[in-house]
Structure 1
Amino acid sequence: MSVRLPHEKGFHVSWDQLHRDARALAWRLDGHGPDDGSWRAVVAITRGGMAPAMIVARELDIRMVDTISVKSYHHQTQGEPRIIKHPDMEVVGDGTGVLIVDDLVDTGRTLEVVRSHMPRAHVATVYAKPQGRDQVDTYITEVSQDTWIFFPWDMALQYVEPYRGHD
């Protein structure tokens, strides 16, 4: 039995698909904030959470947007997560009324670190894997733990030779 390479069990996400899924996330969150259904801020987990956070903020008309930078991956290898940039803690406080948005929860270790700084925030991801799903309050699509998600910002369009012939 051979080991699968990450691209062999991959889930390729286009910009269009990401946009549709992030809008679906916004629709799911609409009206569920603690302030008469509204949210007061969005905090994107960089870098993957920036595109979905921008779409969620636009759809829900949230003008206060900040980031938290957590480094846990080196290419496709996950290490110990550490915060390298905090949001404005005077604005986000304990997280009440704040949406934390990321593209994906994998093991949940990154979100554990983020939640420790904003324990009352609502965590939303576009995609979720089973191992980290308990760290997320709202998500759109679940994928298996052994699936590698290829996001559009990691991909490039290029010519592919046909299977047969060279025309």
Structure 2
Amino acid sequence: MTDDRQNKAFPVSWDQFHRDARALTWRLAGSGPFVGIVCITRGGLVPAAVVARELGLRMIETVCIASYHDYTKQGEMEVLKPIAETVLAAAGEGGQGLLVIDDLVDTGKTARLVREMLPQAHFATLYAKPLGRPLVDTFITEVSQDTWIYFPWDMGLTFQPPIRDGVA
């Protein structure tokens, strides 16, 4: 990601995020059955809650991976918490029957790491960039690789200048 994030900004409101999470659920409804969700933290927590509610899933697990250590630059991948053995035991071989949820697939580094853990799981994200897109099975919106997505939890309610003023 370049430092020029303002030129290709994609701000997502809470309303839009919720609509996209429900749209993701509609796409996933015919892909199951799923025995549970593994959400990639932190970004996958909110969409996983919406998808779990809509699909009636109660087994929700996290895999905690840190890759953005200074918020803007992706660094070394660090698994802070692996997937619990009880969740792995409930799924089929290789995670079959598990639904992996994240907010975004960017470079694909995180998805690739989780895919190694759960090669048979179904991977779904709300947003996908070209480098990571081949690693997910289902997504809602594709954005260019040089677009910075501002999620609702990253933003405050402030005035946004019009696009005509040179700000996206």
The TM-score range, normalised by the shorter chain, is 0.7 to 0.9
**Who is 1:139 aligned against?**
139
Counterpart in 1 of 2:13? 14
Q: Distance in 2 between the 1:160 and 1:133 partners? A: 30
- Kindly provide the amino acid, as one letter, of the partner of residue 81 in structure 2: K
Contact 2:130 2:145 in 1 (8 A): yes
- Bigger RCO of structures 1 and 2 (CA < 8 A, at least 6 apart): 2
Indicate whether 1:26 and 2:25 are aligned: yes
Query: What do the CA deviations read for 1:112-154 (whole angstroms, capped 9, x no partner)?
Result: 1111111111100000000110110100000000000000011
TM-score, length basis structure 2: 0.87
Q: Identity over aligned residues, as a percent?
A: 56
Counterpart of 1:123 in structure 2 is 123
Q: Which has the higher helix share?
A: 2
1:90 matches 2:86:
yes
State the alpha-carbon separation in 2 of the partners of residues 161 and 47 from structure 1.
29
Structure 1: runs of 5+ lacking an equivalent? 163-167
| CA RMSD, Structure 1 to Structure 2 (Å) | 1.8
Show structure 1 runs of 4+ deviating over 4 A.
159-162
Question: Does the 8 Å CA contact 1:128/1:143 hold for their aligned counterparts?
Answer: yes
- Distance (whole Å) between structure 2 residues aligned to residue 136 and residue 19 of structure 1: 20
* Alignment map for 1:1-167 (pairs within 5 Å): 5-33=4-32, 38-74=33-69, 75-93=71-89, 94-158=94-158
**3-state SS, counterpart of residue 141 of structure 2:** strand
Q: Distance in 2 between matches of 1:32 and 1:159?
A: 41
Measure, in 2, the Cα distance between the counterparts of 1:127 and 1:82.
22
Quick one: distance in 1 between partners of 2:110 and 2:42? 12
- Distance of 1:159 and 1:141 partners within structure 2: 25
Contact 1:41 1:92 in 2 (8 A): no
1:10 maps to amino acid: A
Displacement of 1:91: 1.5
Answer yes or no: is the 8 Å Cα contact 1:72–1:78 preserved in 2: yes
Query: Is 64-73 or 79-88 further displaced after alignment?
Result: 79-88
Whole-angstrom distance in 1 between the partners of 2:109 and 2:29: 27
Judged with a 3 Å threshold, the aligned counterparts in structure 2 of structure 1 residues 15 and 90 are, in CA distance, closer, same or farther, namely same
Unaligned runs of 5+ in 2: 163-168
| Alignment size in residue pairs | 156
Partners of 1:161 and 1:90 in 2: CA distance: 50
